[in-house]
Amino acid sequence: MFSSGLLLVKFPHAKTYAEDHRPVELLDVAPTVLAHFGAKTSRPLAGVRLDRAPEVRSSVFFVHNRTFAGGFAKYLLTDHGWQFTSETIPFSNER
C-alpha cells in the first residue's frame, strides 16, 4: 500500500503559485530550511533540498517485528508492490 500527501511550501519572496509533481518527503524539509538560512550540519542529512528533488525517487519502507529482534528489514516499492531488499539495519535495544 502506498500513500501520498500534499506538501504546500511558500519560498521567501515568492509572488506566484506553481505546482511541482516531483516526489518529495518530509526528510526534505530540514535540508531546505537549513540551506535557506545558510546553516551547515556536521553530518549529511537523509533528505535533499526541495528545489533539487529528483524527478524519480525510490520509496523505501522499514519494518520490524514486535520484539525488534535483529533489526529493521528494508523494503522497496516497485511496480510489482513492496519487495524485500535483503538488507537489514541492525538494531540494539540495550541501554
Q: What's the domain range around 91?
A: 58-95
Burial of 23 (0-12, 13-18, 19+ CB in 10 A): middle
Quick one: 6 and 51 in the same domain? yes
Quick one: 4 and 44 in the same domain? yes
Residue 89 φ/ψ, nearest 5 degrees = -95, 115
pTM: 0.54
Quick one: 5 and 48 in the same domain? yes
Quick one: 33 and 19 in the same domain? yes
Quick one: 47 and 71 in the same domain? no
Number of domains forming the structure of the chain:
2
Quick one: 64 and 53 in the same domain? no
Q: What is the pLDDT along the chain (95 residues), one digit of tens a residue?
A: 455 677 777 777 888 887 888 888 888 888 988 998 999 888 888 888 988 988 887 776 666 655 556 677 777 777 777 777 766 666 655 55
